[in-house]
Structure 1
Amino acid sequence: MIGKVQASGKHGVGQRPVGVKPVSGGRLAVAVAMGLAFTYGSAAVHAQDAALASGTGSTSAQTGAVDTSNAAKKKTQEQAKQLVTVTVTGIRASVEMAQDTKRYADTFVDSLSATDIGALPDRSVTESLSRIPGVTIDHFLSQGDPEHFSAEGNGVQVRGLTQVRSELNGRDSFSANGGRALSFQDVPSELMSGVDVFKNQKADMIEGGLGGTVNLRTFMPFDFQGQKIAASASENYGDFDKKYKPSASVLYSNRWHTSIGDMGFLVDVADSRLATRTDGLFVRPFFKDSAGVWVPRGADWRTLLYDRKRDGYYLAFQWRPSNDLELYATAFQSKYHEVWDEDAIFVSNDPTQVVVDASQPSQINGGVFQSGRLTQPGGVPMGTDIRASNSHSKTTDFSTGLKWQLGTSTDVTSELQFVKATTNSLDSTVALGTNVPYIDVALNGSNPPRIGVDTSFTTNPANYYWGFTMDHQDQNYAKELAWRGDIEHSFASGFVHAVKAGVRITDRYANNIDTGYNWNPVFQTWMQGWAIPSGAMPGLNLNGTVNSSLVHLDTFNNFYKGSASIPGAFYAPVLSTALGYPASYADIHDAANPYYIGGGYDKPYEPTLLDAAHTNVQHEKTYAAYGMLEFGVDDANLSGNVGVRAVRTSNAAQGFLVYPNQALAPFLGTGQSSPITARNEYTDVLPSLNLKWEFAPNVITRFAFSKAVARPDFSQMQAYQVLNAAVNAGYTPPKGATSLPLNELVLTGTSTSNPYLTPMKANQFDLSLEWYFDQDHGGMTWINFFHKGISDYFRNESQFVTYPGVDGNNYQYLITRPVNIGKATIDGAEVGWNQFFDFLPVKGFGMSANYTYIRSRTHVPNDSTAVPLDTDGSKYGNLPADGLSRDSLNVAGFYEHGPWQIRLAYNWRSQYLLSIGPNGYNGTDNNIPWKLPVFADAYGQLDGSIFYAFNQHVKLGLEMNNLNNAEQRTIMYQNAAGKHITSWYVNDTRYALTVRVSF
């Protein structure tokens, strides 16, 4: 094995590392520690850590006798844990580390360790997480957006649930994105020593992970015996985007013996850059035409260029002034800058006007369109846009803590943490419009459709007009101050090994400004005759400021890597029109003003304000306390823990109530806004039980039960409600009336948030059987069954809510907003197998595989506001839980012998519900407020790496992603029109030439 890194010291001071208590007491702990020491090399522990003694206990410093008490066994086990957390290099070592973590954990845990310092198995934390059983990611830039693919993946789900708690070294970590979790794509993977995924709970774990808890681990100075220097450098290249981007990282760590104890210092810096290209094609939802044929609204396509820069900085200090006291401080910062721009061609027509041109060949099967020419009176309105997104995110963490051993039986730990996160982004779109005579569409099964238009029309700039602008801004800030204190007391003998208790207090503030998507028309076909003159639309040359020099002919070179048929070229705005917001928007709209004849559009352009109406202020405090008992019967190889955690949550949301502006109901209000503070408090009691029994040598069964919660995101808790009052349909107010009786008014309101939401809850069970058939060489197999019963789902529903009027009376409004309603059941199994084939004549081959099966059922009341509707108004039945694939699979093959290290890994997941009614799949036509469920189709990606070690210090390799040129598709299900693939995406195959050095 090459390039090992020996380490000592407990990883993550003040918290229990993942490699936890062996089931059979001190003897097994010593065996594990010695086995690891011999397997991984001479990992010398500092003298103050005390060498492990042979036998079943530790040697008493006072008497020299062997102490066999539970307290001594516990101390021995803690020392064994320090060796269990040794980080080494090599694929075999990484597999063995993951195996040891799983075996000695006191709940259900799976993990990954870096094969080298600064080298998780993949180029991003998100992709590395997808290698863990039960963990899946989606390949879209944001959750619920089926129109923008992501090369590195996004949206981590554990056992199909997106409510995943994120931690850094066992402490809170989050991004300022309106949610509660860390955006894992923001974090440089080069700073990580490993990733742990907890799939069930213990009482001493922080609440908040309904699906599970993801803990990112970094190195600490005492993880190394002395000085450590490591660095890496990569040159990244994508075969589609054809751009080179560098990445680099460097780590320095050292420790010293001083007159005031052991001290250690570590600094780690990383910079990672990536550029990719994605091409996509779309077939839009189907509508029934006058002949009863289901016809698609149209078809379109786009190209997206993506560029990201990820920086990370990490400092750590440790001080051990005595054998009984250890203190530490860390500072961590991750910075993420993401820029992408997209050239898109899209239909913007009235879908009810589309017909199949009977003069051209067409194919209709079972009343559903298959191929033909789509047209409509006056041509098919289409848009051509340039969309640019520029986003900056930063998360900073300062933490300090101590571990204090009182005598031989009691440990006290304390931690203080401050986290600050910011996000600032601009999403800007500028579009032209054109009315193409027709769109030829030929559906092609699972392959991309064939699309055609009149290219002599689309390449003529005279056929275009300025269409619209759309800006979206985020300016988010979040901070948290957290403190926790824990005490653990071990007993000398008996069934109870230890009791543990602790408290945790947090104070979190979030100020999120989200302007929404502000769509402003310049010229649209539906404005003709009342806002702009009838006849030809105003052209591109409005005046000397806005002219055709601000557009270009987009030829979509090498579209879809040459494997899809699309028309030739379209005119579209240049990139500067989107990036120039707000000045470029003002130029376009102000130049259009002279062309308006009504409609109120001839006003100077006003940019979107980052004002109070768009601001979501949240202030949340939590108070948690727990008690946990650790027990065991050493002779029976049985151990476990039982406990309960109680947490009180207090939240205050500041916002506005907007009164109705109905002239015939002045007693309700006149459209004024009133500031409000919505307060919400609740208490959750979370019991947990974990059992582990080694009933035969190297054969373990586990059982776990716990209750988990996931609080709503802050974006779901905004205190902002607009009230409306309308006159009853069919009622004609008396002439001259100034006020109507209440029974002639319809009082309603709609909101995307609800400050009175309470957490989703789950009762979760795990049962596993694990066989470690080759403990010394990474050989194991396991099966794990799990069940989650989820309640208080977040779904939209209409409820009567009382609000005050300006006359001092209270009135009931029918409010549609998210509420805690409905249930879900998730059942599944995980099966895994690791083995190195040392029995083969050719040494060095190994394999790892895992498969996860999940079945979900949702139970949401059959309310029209909670159940999606098809374009004909028909309802869908119960849908699976969002983001949940029934099947997922990981298979990896290894070769590691001499200086060579080769890895091929395939990751696959079956289709899953991506979103209900996202952009492009919702609307109101024929008075039907339709929204379609969109599924991501099955997706599998092949990655690999080859490294050659010149010596124990220098290694050169090639890392490869998406070797199979995987195609991501999405699917829309329509009741009568059936199942259709609605989009297709291709992306780069990526290569990174990498050199790593370690001293």
Structure 2
Amino acid sequence: MTRSFHALLASAALLPMIVASSAWAQTSSEPLPGAAPAGAEQADPAQDSDATSGQEIVVTGYRAALGSAQALKRNSDSIVDAIVSEDIGKLPDNNAAEAISRVVGVTVTRYNDEAGVILVRGLPDVATTFNGREFFSAEDRVLHLQDFPAGVAAGIEVYKSGTADLIEPGLAGLVNLRSRRPFDVKDTEIAGEIRGSYNDQSKKFDPAGNLLLTKRWDTPIGEIGALINLSYVRSTYRNADRYADSAVITPRGFGVDDPADDIKVTTPGVGNFNFPANAGNFYEKGVRHRPAINGTLQWRPSADLEVYAEGLWQAYRGNVLRDSFNVNFERRDLNGVAPTLSNVVLVPGEPGKAASFTKTGGYVPEFSRVAQDDRTDTYQGAIGFKWTTGRATLSGDFAYTNSRYKALEIAIDSQLATAPTINVDWDARGSAVFDLGGYDIMNPNTARWRGINQREFVAKGNGIQGRLDLDLQTDWAFLPRLQFGVRASDRNALSQNNSRYAYTAGLDIPLASLPTGALEEITEGFRSDPQRFRTWLAPDRDAIIANSEALRQLAYASVQKATILFPNDGGIRDAVTKYATAAIPVDPLGGFTASEASYAFYGQGKFAFNIGSIDIDGTAGARVVNTDGEYRGFSRVQGANGGTAIVPTTTRQNYVDVLPSAIARIRFSREWQVRLGYTQTRTRPGFGQLNPSLNITANSPGPDGSPPQFDASGSGGNPNLRPLTSKNYDATLEWYFAKNGSASIAAFYRDLNGFIGNYTQVVNDPIYGRVQLNRPENAGDGRIKGLEASVQTFFDFLPGMLSGFGVQANGTYLDGTNQLPQALGVGSPQVQITGLSKWAYNLTGFYEKGKVSARLSYNWRSGYTTSYNRNVNEVQYAGELVRPVSRLDFSASYEPVTNITVIANVSNILGQPFKNYRYYNETQYFGRDLRVEGRYFSLGLRFKM
């Protein structure tokens, strides 16, 4: 980036920012490049009226929203699907990620009662923009749609094939969240919503609301518009998970050093069999606070010039509590005595697979309570303009973004004083259940302090960006418009993770003696479940946070004593050093920094011609992008004398991508059209994925002296990752039979290379020995092919009240595979792409008549693979898969007084638990996690003046 351009962007960033919901990179009359203005079909006058009756129809509510989304799809230069909110708060979802899950071809993964990762056509590599501008959270490359309350969004557009003027889409496409602008309204508007929600798992009530104020003025210096939008959402969640370990063992083990070799089996006639090494419960609850403020100023001094300034403050505050209880079935006790298994029952028809048994002796159960406070603050400010002179339109946008995330975490680890009798069943509705016999778990004298972990994590990101675009009308009938543009951005990212652990299990310290006060019974989170063991004792969460320094001092004194009892334990000696100071020492291997600049130029033409009565138009062009990045971390290096040192490591990447695109629309009539498209896309690896640091931790022997399965475990980034590439082929057939009625079918093919995923492999390290290493790797070639179908309509032809019914339905079929990475040494077989469901569909029924509106929406996706991991015996890679997922949501509203509406929503009505399972050989598996999530009930009031 040149010095002058840097100065230009910096000066734009220093202009006073109106606190705003991210900046709209276009003017009020100009949509995101390549899109038609939402709700406007003026691009084709023949399409302004109902395609069936030929009469103009004025619609509101669901009809208006569906019609606007349909118009955007119909008139867009690219292949796009969208959802549109015709009024403030009209998307009946908690956040934008929930709302987008109803778009054809889009699925989301949910955790802790909210949608998170977005997948478009089975791929998670989605570029995201806010108002057409790059927006990101901390060190990420993407914005987190779950951080945007749905009430902020005027629309969400999913571009499944990009044009050259769009910021580089990811493999899966691009998602743009569009907010409101003051020139969207005629004069003055005050609108908002207040709402209260209840979660049946957390049993808490939470407030939410948003308020929009906007006004336009005609002044001597031109037309001026101002908008400010305030939003706040609080949500309290509680999830419960019971699990079985992914590691599957046998009582005879796999080697002479395997502790499972000594497990005693007393059931007559039972040979060798398989079972998970651990089972347990995991509960997580928390409170999320998401405030946001956005504002925009627009100034139109003349008909051919418009200037705007926008800004955003978006924040997240989290208070999290995690409780876990784990039972191990293979480890010896402190005296080196292995457990005994009795009452063993095998699964009928499945040789060597345990159904249930009783364990006595062996290692004691362990449990943990983790208290975490975290927060995010993200700011973006921007200025821009649009100037039309003659046949040329010049527009520009310049922005600065700054985002910071910080988390503080304290974990209190505990264990029981003695080993109880454990009765376990390995498949009760999908996963393990167990009990502790008659053990007095509520007696505080049975709990011992096992250790403490303190962690501080900070991630930061900032960047400047700017673009200039020229739209030129020509005299050429077949090429009426030429478009050119340049864009430059400069990004910085930083991540630092510092932690320390003090192991105190050998000191026999009562858990109740910690400076956190009396122990409390944890609140279990199961709704209706066969799990027999549910609660135990733990320190109070607030007391853990408030007494963090007292806990640190106790840990320091304890590990000093432990060095006498365990003089050869390097981990304890390391803890003495780390706990000697109030601040957690900086871990060089726990952080990275990155600087990355990108420079893009695009050129494209909009063509149009006729073949007889068939109209053909579209775009063809290319985008050229140069990426220049430097990524810095630390590496552990072995010296000539056998010692090791931590030294800084820097890697660089500089590459140029040429991304052609060509999309044609063939209009056979006013109602029927076909699109054909070819595009190429690239997706850069994440900054954390490129981190050159490796964090390797030596595994200590068990308390009984038994050797660990691996000498060390490690994780980190991979500076040798290359961008993901894809050649994309798209075709659609679209039928628009009414202003808010349409049907379409789409076929697509993606030729992929370099899909990135985290894989676990075993490497031989000269220092640590056999290391189980988890890090991102590029996979080999892959492909995705699929079909999408969608239909939406209202039944206006029905008589009376029945004419208020409508329906929207869509479905997606996907078939996608890629090669496992060469680095895994397993022959690079073709496997299903992780996260990809073969089938997914949404079915939504509407009713809208008079003062009443209602929506019932059902969402379903088939099972999918989440990961591939090497088995314990290292013979093959096994997959972890998720069962089919379904969801039913309902929303309704009633308008007793004009512009005052009562609203009610119910989310996750079915309350079906999340389930996954893990194969341990080619045909057999055990259930892994069964997670129970909450239902949300909300009631509120929406107003407009």
TM-score (norm 1): 0.81
Aligned residue type for 1:413: S
Other-structure match for 2:887: 941
Deviates most, 572-581 or 889-898:
572-581
2:134 corresponds to 1:168: no
Aligned residue type for 1:642: A
2:623 corresponds to 1:641: no
Aligned residue type for 1:894: F
2:71 corresponds to 1:100: yes
Q: Distance in 1 between matches of 2:548 and 2:877?
A: 31
Residue pairs, 1:358-369, within 5 angstroms: 358-359=342-343, 365-369=349-353
Q: Distance in 2 between matches of 1:581 and 1:350?
A: 34
> Partner of 1:587: helix, strand, or coil?
helix
Deviation at residue 342 of structure 1 after TM alignment = 2.0
Q: Distance in 2 between matches of 1:827 and 1:441?
A: 43
Other-structure match for 1:898: 850
Deviation at residue 723 of structure 1 after TM alignment = 10
Other-structure match for 1:67: none
Deviation at residue 355 of structure 1 after TM alignment = 6.7
Question: Deviation per CA, 1:822-879, whole angstroms, max 9, x where unpaired?
Answer: 12211111111101111222220000010011111112355536x5xxxxxxx99643
Matched-pair contact (CA < 8 Å) for 1:374–1:438: yes
Deviation at residue 11 of structure 1 after TM alignment = 3.6
Other-structure match for 2:356: 372
Q: Distance in 2 between matches of 1:815 and 1:974?
A: 19
Q: Distance in 1 between matches of 2:720 and 2:353?
A: 46
Task: Say which of 665, 668, 674 aligns to 1:701.
Answer: 674
Other-structure match for 1:313: 293
Aligned residue type for 2:816: S
Q: Distance in 1 between matches of 2:632 and 2:43?
A: 55
Residue pairs, 1:261-660, within 5 angstroms: 261-285=222-246, 286-290=248-252, 291-348=271-328, 350=330, 357-359=341-343, 365-375=349-359, 378-407=361-390, 409-434=391-416, 435-444=418-427, 446-447=429-430, 449-515=432-498, 519-523=501-505, 532=506, 538-540=508-510, 546=514, 549-554=517-522, 556=523, 559-567=525-533, 569-576=535-542, 578-579=544-545, 580-581=547-548, 583-588=550-555, 590-591=557-558, 593-594=560-561, 596-599=564-567, 600=569, 601=572, 603=576, 605-606=579-580, 608-634=584-610, 636-660=614-638
Task: Say which of 828, 839, 846 aligns to 2:786.
Answer: 828
Matched-pair contact (CA < 8 Å) for 1:716–1:755: yes
Question: Deviation per CA, 1:263-295, whole angstroms, max 9, x where unpaired?
Answer: 110010001111121112112232122242012
Percent of aligned positions that are identical: 26
Deviation at residue 406 of structure 1 after TM alignment = 1.2
Other-structure match for 2:6: none
Aligned residue type for 1:653: Y
Q: Distance in 2 between matches of 1:136 and 1:159?
A: 8
Matched-pair contact (CA < 8 Å) for 2:746–2:787: yes
Aligned residue type for 2:85: A
2:803 corresponds to 1:843: yes
Q: Distance in 1 between matches of 2:714 and 2:414?
A: 32
Other-structure match for 2:704: none
Aligned residue type for 2:915: R
> Partner of 1:222: helix, strand, or coil?
helix
RMSD: 3.6
The change in CA–CA distance for 1:750 and 1:646 in structure 2 (over 3 A counts) is: farther
Q: Distance in 1 between matches of 2:818 and 2:34?
A: 36
The change in CA–CA distance for 1:798 and 1:111 in structure 2 (over 3 A counts) is: closer
Other-structure match for 2:813: 853
Aligned residue type for 2:637: Y
Question: Deviation per CA, 1:553-602, whole angstroms, max 9, x where unpaired?
Answer: 44x45x52243231264233332464344542442452464355123536
> Partner of 2:554: helix, strand, or coil?
helix
The change in CA–CA distance for 1:14 and 1:361 in structure 2 (over 3 A counts) is: closer
Deviation at residue 547 of structure 1 after TM alignment = 6.8
Deviation at residue 321 of structure 1 after TM alignment = 0.7
Q: Distance in 1 between matches of 2:892 and 2:521?
A: 42
Aligned residues: 866
Other-structure match for 1:758: 722
Aligned residue type for 1:794: I
Other-structure match for 1:983: 929
The change in CA–CA distance for 1:34 and 1:794 in structure 2 (over 3 A counts) is: closer
Other-structure match for 2:735: 771
Aligned residue type for 1:840: L
Matched-pair contact (CA < 8 Å) for 1:795–1:820: yes
Deviation at residue 231 of structure 1 after TM alignment = 1.4
Other-structure match for 1:85: none
The change in CA–CA distance for 1:886 and 1:363 in structure 2 (over 3 A counts) is: closer
> Partner of 2:832: helix, strand, or coil?
coil
TM-score (norm 2): 0.85
Q: Distance in 1 between matches of 2:392 and 2:719?
A: 43
Matched-pair contact (CA < 8 Å) for 1:23–1:692: no
Matched-pair contact (CA < 8 Å) for 2:342–2:359: no
Identify unmatched segments of 5+ residues in structure 2: 1-25, 253-270, 699-711, 766-770
2:919 corresponds to 1:959: no
Matched-pair contact (CA < 8 Å) for 1:187–1:335: no
Deviation at residue 910 of structure 1 after TM alignment = 1.3
Deviation at residue 454 of structure 1 after TM alignment = 2.2
Residue pairs, 1:125-204, within 5 angstroms: 125-140=96-111, 150-176=112-138, 178-204=139-165
Aligned residue type for 2:489: T
Q: Distance in 2 between matches of 1:32 and 1:838?
A: 15
Deviation at residue 10 of structure 1 after TM alignment = 5.4
Q: Distance in 2 between matches of 1:492 and 1:951?
A: 54
Matched-pair contact (CA < 8 Å) for 1:958–1:994: yes
Other-structure match for 1:730: none
Deviation at residue 892 of structure 1 after TM alignment = 0.5
Deviates most, 362-371 or 418-427:
362-371
> Partner of 2:383: helix, strand, or coil?
strand
Matched-pair contact (CA < 8 Å) for 1:20–1:106: no
> Partner of 1:719: helix, strand, or coil?
coil
Q: Distance in 2 between matches of 1:175 and 1:766?
A: 31
2:644 corresponds to 1:671: yes
Matched-pair contact (CA < 8 Å) for 1:231–1:996: yes
Other-structure match for 2:692: 719
Task: Say which of 187, 194, 213 aligns to 1:252.
Answer: 213
Identify unmatched segments of 5+ residues in structure 1: 1-8, 42-87, 141-149, 524-531, 726-747, 804-812, 868-874
The change in CA–CA distance for 1:406 and 1:833 in structure 2 (over 3 A counts) is: same
The change in CA–CA distance for 1:21 and 1:136 in structure 2 (over 3 A counts) is: closer
Q: Distance in 1 between matches of 2:109 and 2:210?
A: 27
2:747 corresponds to 1:781: no
Other-structure match for 2:840: 888
Q: Distance in 2 between matches of 1:964 and 1:245?
A: 21
Q: Distance in 1 between matches of 2:637 and 2:697?
A: 7
Deviation at residue 484 of structure 1 after TM alignment = 0.5
Deviation at residue 332 of structure 1 after TM alignment = 1.4
Q: Distance in 1 between matches of 2:531 and 2:773?
A: 47
Deviation at residue 106 of structure 1 after TM alignment = 1.0
The change in CA–CA distance for 1:724 and 1:521 in structure 2 (over 3 A counts) is: closer
The change in CA–CA distance for 1:932 and 1:609 in structure 2 (over 3 A counts) is: farther
Q: Distance in 1 between matches of 2:223 and 2:473?
A: 26
